[in-house]
Structure 1
Amino acid sequence: MIGLQLYIKKTLKVVAFIFSLLFSLSVFSQNKHSFSFSSSAFILDNKPFRIISGELHPARIPKEYWRHRIQMTKAMGCNTIAMYVFWNYHEKEPGQFDFTTDNRNIADFLKICAEEKMWVLLRPGPYVCGEWDFGGLPPYLLRIPDIKIRCMDSHYLEAVKRYVSRLSSIVKPYLVTNGGNILMVQIENEYGSFANDRNYLETLRGYWTSNGINTPFYTADGATPFMLEAGSLPGVAVGLDPGSSQGNYTLAAQVNPGVPVFSSETYPGWLTHWGEKWARPDTTSLLKEVKFMLDSNLSFNFYVIHGGTNFGFTAGANAFSATQYQPDVTSYDYDAPINEQGRATPKYYAIRRLINQYVKNIPEIPAPVPAMNIPEINMQPFSSLWSNLPKPVASVQPKPFEYYGQDHGMMVYKTKLIGHKSGKLTIWEPHDYALVFLNGMFIDTVFRDGGNWTVDLPKTNVKDPVLEILVEGMGHINFAQFMIDRKGITDRVTLNGMTLMNWEVFSLPFDYRYVLGLKPSAIDIARRGNFFKGSFNLQQTADTYIDMSQYKKGIVWVNGHNLGRYWYIGPQQRLYCPASWLKKGMNEILVFDLLETEAKRIRGKETPE
């Protein structure tokens, strides 16, 4: 019986692949195309071709809105979609791939691009950055103690090779060389900002070509001599992040002559970290930059034309020193021309008017997706984290999440104090936000950024005081040299310099299974870390923003969907909830707050601010 089931499963996979190939050919085979390079231009069907691209990330957009966002991109004057594929969104555990469920179905995204007559620039990594958790690399790599990434490390390359093989089998039918719409494939991303191993880049190119990826390739790097030298390859087109002046293109042509150069990331907006003001770059300078490229007949890609949302635990972080940590907000609105909810902004209309002077027959702008307000939702105390702890694991000293097989969420570390029982408690190092408790009472918080990881532990009359440390991981670093970024307590805990030993460790992944299994209980006001629940009835559904301004720091689920993190320090106070996650009739909202001890009412708002 098992053998028969395996046979049927393999047969269905083959049938699905053939169907996918036939679909791709049916869309493009009526007018087969060729795509290649001259020494300075892209050549489509033996004629120079200017790429005007807008970047979209399928993983950041509900699948129901893919077509709308692609149509919005086309209506701004673009002829191409650039797309990241986030490796860790598709392979959470080694060898367990998901390219079929929800917005993980890359083949469907490519099909819709084809149906809308849009070309594609494929950006598959394996590393992509993108303000995404660990830059798209799977955190399971961090379970290997001595792992080295983005290099010729054998453990790393073994995983990369598996990923490239699997993804290649999905995208191969959509290559322009097979009658599809993928014009080029990017090798790595901004490698010259990280390292200088061209053998690694050549190895990646070899992995793709050996798996049948035979389109032209490109790299993308900042427009500096050292980045271009370390990150480019002979015969591979040069992408500039960004290419904003003639000097950038001249430099790139000198470093890597004989191939086209284009602006692979032209920035209409910018990212925002927690605790910052929203990034709002100047539109005037952007329009000047775009006009320069249009006048010069240069190809370019808007990064991003629409950002979407870092749902769940997908937001990344930046760090440019050993003690710095800058986690990204949940929204990836990015001040892009198309906002988080898919609406055209004034920036969108300004760019569209400019491109319209150079491009004919730009289609009409699609109708906006409806949004709505939701009246006050009466929330009630539901449960305490401390009543929903799993069976602990014994550890001589604390270890990071990843060493316990956990990639995201939270973890509780518990020990008895022997010897020193009060004084200066230091966590070496807390990744990323920790709450300290003594004998079930909240003492203080520790945030990783800045290196101030010490709290004052008060004296107690308890003979064997119990210390508990609840640590929240807020996103693996996604850029530059500090990317080996394990979560939790990453080294040790000391009290007045004494290393504390013999811990119990409780894994709290906060994934769907954990949340589904929560048991109701009284909330714990002394220790904090509580769940609140509410329900609301809808006569109709539309997009909305859940206003969390009355709460402090935590996570929100609507009908089981993780909307992402909120934090009172801002700037984001409202979390985007797409209509597809709501339903007519009764809906449920669940909030976990690290600091709040009282249930507060929640509203749904039509706008993000």
Structure 2
Amino acid sequence: MSSTPRRSSWIAGLLALALAGSISAPAWSAPARFELGRDEFLLNGQPTQLIGCEMHPARIPPEYWQHRLRMARAMGCNAVPIYLFWNQHEARPGQFDFKTGSRDIARFARLAQAEGLLVLLRPGPYVCGEWDLGGLPPYLLAHADIGLRGQDPRYLQAVTRYVRAVSRALAPLQIQRGGPIAMLQIENEYGSYANDRGYLKRLAALWRAEGWQIPFYTADGPTAQMLGAGSLPGVAVGLDSGSEPAHFELARRINPGVPVFSSETYPGWLTHWGEAWARPELEPLLKEVDFLLRAGKSFSFYVAHGGSNFGFTAGANSGGKGYEPDVTSYDYDAPIDEQGRPRAKYFQLRERIAALRQDRSPLPELPAPIPVMSLPALQLEPHASLWQHLPPARRSSHPKTFEALSHEQGLMLYRTRLVGARSGKLVLHGLHDLASVYLDGRLIGHLDRRLGENSLELPASEAAEPLLEILVEAMGRINFGPLLVDRKGITERVSLNGMTLLGWDHHPLPLRERWVQGLPAAASAAALDPRPGRFFKASFEIAGTPADTFLDLSQFGKGMVWVNGHNLGRYWAIGPQQRLYLPAPWLRQGRNELIVLDLRSTAGGSVSGWEAMNP
């Protein structure tokens, strides 16, 4: 598919939409009015049923945005809700990017407009979304006592800066100014977290002060407690999800006089590492969608298309034994799979929507599928060792977190010499998230926060002052619930037989793409450090036009993958995911470069490309 947006304009006044009660026109150009009625959404004064297909630009290669939007239209959707992930746009305080790659949200909105889709903007500042820290920038956690999602002055100062940046980029695309953005969500599921409605009112006032005139909505679970804390007077109520009449009645009692809709109707669900793939039963979904359509309710599928948690963007939950990191794929068992193909449920939903929606005009045909290809097995050769390319040490008496050193993602190596206590029970108090423990260069064991592990027995050493090294991997910050402040690294202290160990060197390893690409090759495999933490490399040729593929990492242990400088994300032998999505735009005709970091093994192996994620 072409990545160039079509320049067709929107039909003035949306007359076809007004007559049909839904968006059926392919495009429009003149300013329109989107308003809140007492019970319904109004487009140019006419009741309108919104059917949303949520997707997130950050999780989709920009070259495929148009394809995914056309898939949404063909399923019967007339709106596309999108999350903005604050930390994708402001990695460093005051340094915003709304222009490059998947950060160009204005371009995505214009593409949606060209396909006849309204945009429902979900900018947070907190969004959850199974994204690292729920979209909040990790630099906030450098303040030891900061309060998130409330009226802490330091937090609000950063939020204000973010709101102003979003507004500069996107406020001109509001529907009354000829753009596609029809509504803006205030925060996200706030009633599941806290009860400061003053904070929500302050956010709403801030958006208004920055020129947002479109209606606002909130989104919360359908309980009295959540809606009571998370909704606002005069603001539309989104239900996550609204699956039965009682949910809508409750919302109307708590916040009367505004439309209520199901802002997140779930066609699938998320998956954590070490679990089986989430595959929810289809019948409850079809029953819920039938109810919503027959009742004329507005609703949105969360998500119609999930995409991928490329790089280090995947988040985590705090269930299980306190920590459950999300897999790299955000396929979500959604109607449109990770690669953009329709599942069987896509066609079942399309059939129901076509038959029961208020707009009975024919649905557009599906766009042509994105091509896929397989790749023969590529044998990767040892290339470099993490241990031989450490950055300069940063010294501190006590172990520091990632955030305290302005280190957002990747790895941190902690080093200290043992004096006094030299063997016995080693405890990493507040380990976030995975640790590999070495004594005098020898691997002693791994610790896993998921499993509630934080201690092991340290054997005796013949060295006068044994060298203790702890390589910590951050797996993704918690994105939902009360444990949102989830700093990475060793967040408290390290003890040996009860003695607190002091005097630490820190080596932050963010594993940025350019650094990984620039690693010089070792003279030979024998010259490499013998420990896990090796980079393996292979080059491969593509003779024709590149196509999408899924790289099988099942011969490797745990780590990350880069192709032509693009970080595909994390892999882990515990599964369920063994194959990582590699989109064609990241490949090129001719020579390509593949780099795999394995933190658990030095054996290496081969990688092959497949046409689907699962066998």
TM over 0.5: yes
Match of residue 564 from structure 1: 569
Equivalent residue of 2:347, what SS?
A: helix
Equivalent residue of 1:481, what SS?
A: coil
Unaligned runs of 5+ in 1: 1-20
CA distance in 2, matches of 1:231, 1:267: 20
1:149-179 superposed Cα distances (whole Å, 9 cap, x missing partner)? 0000000000000010010111112111212
Match of residue 531 from structure 2: 527
CA distance in 2, matches of 1:172, 1:94: 22
2:508 is the counterpart of 1:507: yes
CA distance in 1, matches of 2:420, 2:520: 37
Q: Is the 8 A contact 2:27 2:115 kept in 1?
A: no
CA distance in 1, matches of 2:111, 2:309: 22
Match of residue 211 from structure 1: 210
Question: How do residues 277-296 of structure 1 correspond to structure 2 at under 5 angstroms?
Answer: 277-296=276-295
Q: Is the 8 A contact 1:380 1:532 kept in 2?
A: yes
CA distance in 1, matches of 2:300, 2:53: 5
Shift of 1:29: 6.5
Supply the AA of the counterpart residue of 2:367. P
Supply the AA of the counterpart residue of 2:175. V
Shift of 1:526: 4.2
CA distance in 1, matches of 2:55, 2:435: 34
CA distance in 2, matches of 1:434, 1:345: 39
Match of residue 352 from structure 2: 354
Match of residue 22 from structure 2: none
Shift of 1:409: 0.4
Shift of 1:352: 0.6
2:397 is the counterpart of 1:396: yes
1:330-381 superposed Cα distances (whole Å, 9 cap, x missing partner)? 0000000000000011010110111110242210011110000000112100
CA distance in 2, matches of 1:145, 1:511: 26
Shift of 1:454: 0.5
1:411-448 superposed Cα distances (whole Å, 9 cap, x missing partner)? 00000000011110000111101000000011100011
Q: TM-score, normalised on structure 1?
A: 0.95
Question: How do residues 78-157 of structure 1 correspond to structure 2 at under 5 angstroms?
Answer: 78-157=77-156
1:46-78 superposed Cα distances (whole Å, 9 cap, x missing partner)? 111000010010000000000000000000000
Q: Is the 8 A contact 1:175 1:181 kept in 2?
A: yes
Shift of 1:23: 8.4
- With over 3 angstroms needed to count, the CA separation of the structure-2 counterparts of 1:445 and 1:253, relative to structure 1, is same
2:450 is the counterpart of 1:449: yes
Supply the AA of the counterpart residue of 1:456. E
2:170 is the counterpart of 1:171: yes
CA distance in 1, matches of 2:482, 2:197: 17
Shift of 1:539: 1.1
Q: TM-score, normalised on structure 2?
A: 0.94
Equivalent residue of 1:183, what SS?
A: strand
Match of residue 609 from structure 2: 604
Supply the AA of the counterpart residue of 2:333. D
Q: Is the 8 A contact 1:337 1:347 kept in 2?
A: yes
Shift of 1:519: 2.9
Shift of 1:524: 5.0
CA distance in 2, matches of 1:433, 1:30: 52
Match of residue 20 from structure 2: none
Supply the AA of the counterpart residue of 2:574. I
CA distance in 1, matches of 2:568, 2:597: 12
Equivalent residue of 1:397, what SS?
A: coil
Equivalent residue of 1:170, what SS?
A: helix
Match of residue 584 from structure 2: 579
Unaligned runs of 5+ in 2: 1-6, 13-25
Q: Is the 8 A contact 2:540 2:593 kept in 1?
A: yes
Supply the AA of the counterpart residue of 1:603. S
**What percentage of aligned pairs have identical amino acids?**
54
Match of residue 333 from structure 2: 335
Supply the AA of the counterpart residue of 2:413. V
CA distance in 2, matches of 1:401, 1:237: 39
1:306-352 superposed Cα distances (whole Å, 9 cap, x missing partner)? 0000000000000048x510000000000000000000110101101
Shift of 1:535: 0.7
Q: Is the 8 A contact 2:427 2:456 kept in 1?
A: yes
CA distance in 1, matches of 2:521, 2:443: 22
Shift of 1:285: 1.1
Match of residue 324 from structure 1: 322
Q: Is the 8 A contact 2:32 2:177 kept in 1?
A: no
Q: Is the 8 A contact 1:388 1:519 kept in 2?
A: no
Shift of 1:117: 1.0
CA distance in 1, matches of 2:96, 2:277: 35
CA distance in 1, matches of 2:566, 2:28: 40
